[in-house]
Structure 1
């Protein structure tokens, strides 16, 4: 019985807590635990623990130190330019969005009081009253118009320009109302506006070093590549939170050092730990794992516009050469779900379950590489600690390659500068993509011909046309069919090798409470600072 209790993770505790909050009966809760292989006595213990956690009253006060896994001198407080988790954490602390995604993936209103449309093309946004920026300025429609239009300006360099370009007209109707007109209908607009990049900034902002937003914390210090210190916004518009007095955020690029910092009590939260660390965390009273089951993945990118990826069969060969089950079971210790070389996880309602799963087939890979004329040649693959588990993936791939006569060389590069100097640039390299809530967002950011993060330079006029068509479909069954076709196209034609979807493991102090998984990523969708509190 004790073994079964041990196998019940903190993520499952949180699942029971969320179920209780949604009103699940005791019978339903016990059925959930029986499915998970939990004995009755253990189940009662877990129920008691979950009930106690819910009953615990958040405590105001305290200072938290948290460490992410990537940082550089390019760190920014400009939401439009945010490109990694460290930026997202800070933007979530200093700004708000019009909408946000809750722990169940449902779109909720934030700065918007309502977002409505009769045809999914023209949308009316009503803003909350009584919201002020850190400098005392009141939120108005002018701020929203300015914030959204920035993404359309090429000079800004917005990371979501491809998504924002569907907004053809953004105008203020009055001081508290904004009208957004899309080039084509898109029922996903409220969810799109929940992405981290669509934070609302003050009208006319050009200096983002102060993080002047409407968010739960005020920026006290920001040193790109070093650290940030945030203090509670005493005039925050929400009735509850934030609870912390202040928090410091910085990066520890080395995973072992990050975990040791949690275990020693030097930090309260260490983000994105290797699944190998799970057993250490579970058996140490000084820390515990916070597991988020997401659609996050680390992928191998074979650029189709550069040698050797421009030779037919090379990208496909890598898809057959990657041992997905070995990565799932050994590298990630079971904290992953098998993927099929496209970015839509099985938990998404638009997932194509009919697409045949690609198997590990070294002989087929060898045949493809041989026809492409690359057997016997060296193929260099760029990997880094900052692209989660990519070094381990590289070793698995290198071993499989050696057995079929393919010479794979893993070029390990430092974390600092990886995303600006190697990702999207090197001929064959690893990436790491955070979870996104809709197929439209994923395809628009990663696979549309002009997508800003088109990692393999995949280009298809047919795919682009289907993407636009699917946005305006009100027939959900037809929309699912179209997204299914697009998943097959990416899986078979793009140069991105996506072996598994990874669960995220953050190491946290037992005193840090209030965290629940969020579909936008680890650390509670990077918004932990607003909701976390310290146990006295």
Structure 2
């Protein structure tokens, strides 16, 4: 038993502290410790130590102000339609999910008390009792049924419709029990339900402008593309609730302006700053950096159904022309890992490390461009400050192309409107994808033939069939093998060039405490407002 106790580390203590902050019950905490090999007697000591640490640290009160990097007049409070960081931050503040991912990527319960299945096809969800919406209505199974079924309705326009389609039936068994039936077994369902889009809304909601949820904050002001203001929910079901009294969030698309707002004291957090701004922040007393590496990336998208991407050799040439090392070292100042043109990062257990990234090889690139009959032609390339470091990446590609006689007309467009006017639409353009915790989610959103965000319009019946097969496998070794093959297919066949996996860096005031890493991305997977506090 002593060996088991010794194996419990300080990082495990931190995990327990994080779970306490998120409102985990004592039973759930002891279950976590027993799973880690801690005896009940030692578990009690660990729990007491963690509880004391949590209780001693946070302070209540204050008005939190933070700035993201992306917004639009199409900003929404409908979690099914959320697509930008500002959407995710708002949804995390006013709604809850059935599950969430802790800092170690482990699924924990939130609105659900438990989610169980004997065959990974039929799942039983037990809800916590005593949870109320902001308007006083009690949370019930009908709210969960309504929230999940919305994703299946084409008229809703859910961003995760392709993922949700595997749900063939969802029904309320009793006021606090929901039964979810899938078309085929999927062991990832508890993880899928932790995604931002699967927030639970009130049964029958058609007007989302008021943001009625069960979350830590109530919506006070919502001005799409401008700002949002929230106040603390006094009836929140988690012990203690949010630490700050109120919270304001908006976007400053220009990186320099966002950093200057932080340094001048106008905001407490500047999200996702660029590497070139890091030294400035670090040189100023009273400010710190929070780094998360969890699979975020900026990619160069070549639509395979439009010229010039309709010639296969153009995409092949671009994958050799991209100078990954230069992007990693010069553009991102080393805050990135070299990628191999597919979205599953080394942070995932399913990452195919045997799939090597293509080396920078201008001669091979030139060969493919000549074969495509495009060498010497001017190719428009749309870029913007909206996708992280996309302007710098475009410049590098342009310079490399000029050395072999390949001309790229780099067209820099405004951040405002980029995601609605250019992303997914322009023949050659840049995108930026936030981390997702499973290959199934990444592939379903981005590469399946019916994927809502199919950036290069990649279509493969073989890929689609493999996706369904891997989804239902309980044999992890076989599942990993199939996901490895699918990564090779994306790398070789799709029109997405993914040069590096980017480390997200949020710059924060030293007054802001409690910010932690999360596998769903920066700003604690966009849920930071509930957990941080201000140390005046």
TM beyond 0.5 = yes
Alpha-carbon offset, residue 278 of structure 1: 1.4
Tell me what 1:530 maps to: 530
SS in structure 1 opposite 2:312?
A: coil
Q: Decide whether the 8 Å contact of 2:15 with 2:103 is kept in 1.
A: no
Instruction: State the Cα deviation string for residues 66-123 of structure 1 (Å, max 9, x = none).
Output: 1111111100000000001000000000000000001111110000000000000000
Is residue 203 of structure 2 the alignment partner of residue 203 of structure 1? yes
Retained in 2: the 8 A contact 1:122–1:179?
Answer: yes
The structural deviation recorded for 1:409 is 1.2
- TM-score, normalization: structure 2? 0.91
Q: Are the aligned partners of 1:265 and 1:286 in contact in 2 as well (CA < 8 Å)?
A: no
2:280 pairs with 1:280: yes
The question of whether the paired residues in 1 share the 8 Å contact of 2:81 and 2:197 is answered with: yes
Instruction: Report 1:397-412 matches (<5 A).
Output: 397-412=397-412
Give how far 1:246 is off.
0.3
* Cross-structure match for 1:224: 224
Asked if residue 183 in structure 1 is aligned to residue 186 in structure 2, the reply is no
Secondary structure, counterpart of 1:248 in structure 2: strand
Q: Show the counterpart of 1:376.
A: 376
Of 14, 22, 34, 1:21 maps to 14
> How has the CA–CA distance of structure 1 residues 17 and 401 changed in structure 2, closer, same or farther, with 3 Å as cutoff?
farther
CA drift at 1:279: 1.5
Structure 2, gaps ≥5 residues long: 1-8, 18-51
Are 1:360 and 2:363 counterparts? no
User: How far has the Cα of 1:54 moved from its partner?
Assistant: 6.8
Q: Deviations over 1:144-168 (max 9, x none)?
A: 0000000000000000000000001
Instruction: Determine the structure 1 residue equivalent to 2:267.
Output: 267
* Pairing 1:420–2:423 present: no
Alignment of 1:100-111 (within 5 A): 100-111=100-111
Alpha-carbon distance in 2 for matches of 1:332, 1:264: 25
Q: Distance in 2 between matches of 1:285 and 1:304?
A: 49
Tell me which residue corresponds to 1:337. Answer: 337
Q: Distance in 2 between matches of 1:84 and 1:193?
A: 19
Q: 1:241: how far off?
A: 2.7
1:11-50 equivalent positions in 2, closer than 5 A: 18=11, 20-21=13-14
Query: Could you say what secondary structure the match of 1:290 adopts?
Result: strand
The alpha-carbon distance between structure 1 residues 56 and 394, as it changes in their structure 2 partners (threshold 3 A), is: farther
Report the CA distance shift for 1:17/1:279 in structure 2 as closer, same or farther (over 3 A).
farther
Partner Cα separation in structure 2 for residue 338 and residue 468 of structure 1: 29
Specify whether residues 70 and 23 from structure 1 end up closer, same or farther in structure 2 by C-alpha distance, changes over 3 A only.
closer
How far did residue 55 of structure 1 move? 8.0
Instruction: Please tell me whether the aligned partners of residues 171 and 179 of structure 1 are also in contact (alpha carbons under 8 angstroms).
Output: yes
Find the aligned partners of 1:365 and 1:55 in 2 and give their Cα distance: 58
Q: Would you say the 8 A contact 2:77–2:90 is kept in 1? A: yes
Q: How does 1:102-181 map to 2 (within 5 A)?
A: 102-181=102-181
Per-residue deviation, 1:316: 1.1
- Give me the CA root mean square deviation: 1.6
Please tell me whether the aligned partners of residues 300 and 497 of structure 2 are also in contact (alpha carbons under 8 angstroms): yes
Provide the secondary structure at the position in 2 that maps to 1:462: helix
Distance 2:153 2:416 in 1: 28
Instruction: Give the CA deviation at 1:18.
Output: 3.9
Aligned to 1:96: 96
CA displacement at 1:20 relative to structure 2: 4.8
Partner residue, 1:511: 511
For residue 22 of structure 1, report the CA deviation from its aligned partner. Answer: 5.1
Task: Give the secondary structure class of the aligned counterpart of 1:504.
Answer: strand
Alpha-carbon distance between aligned partners in 2 of 1:54 and 1:206, rounded to the nearest angstrom: 39
1:184 aligned counterpart, secondary structure: coil
2: distance between equivalents of 1:18 and 1:299?
33
Rounded Cα–Cα distance in structure 2 between residues aligned with 1:359 and 1:55: 51
**Preserved contact between residue 466 and residue 486 of structure 2 (Cα < 8 Å):** yes
CA shift digits 1:24-71 (9 cap, x unpaired): 9xxxxxxxxxxxxxxxxxxxxxxxxxxx99785200100011111111
**Structure 1 position 286, deviation (Å):** 3.2
1:498: which partner in 2?
A: 498
Aligned: 1:460 with 2:460? yes
Distance 2:525 2:423 in 1: 23
Match of 1:29 in 2: none
Shift of 1:505: 0.9
Q: Deviations over 1:322-359 (max 9, x none)?
A: 00000001100000000000001112101111223311
Q: Distance in 1 between matches of 2:55 and 2:220?
A: 33
1:313 aligned counterpart, secondary structure: helix
Render the CA deviation track for 1:449-491: whole Å, top value 9, x for unaligned: 0000000000000000000000111111000000000000000
Give the conservation status (yes or no) of the 8 Å contact 2:383–2:430: yes
Q: Deviations over 1:390-426 (max 9, x none)?
A: 0010011111000010001111111111111100000
Any runs of at least 4 consecutive aligned residues in structure 1 with deviations exceeding 6 A, and if so which?
52-55
For residues 290 and 22 of structure 1, the distance between their equivalents in structure 2, rounded to whole angstroms, comes to 18
CA distance 1:369–1:69, change in 2 (3 Å): same
CA contact (8 A) 1:434 1:520 kept: yes
The aligned counterpart of 2:79 is 79
Q: TM-score when scaled to structure 1?
A: 0.91
Instruction: Count residues with an aligned counterpart.
Output: 495
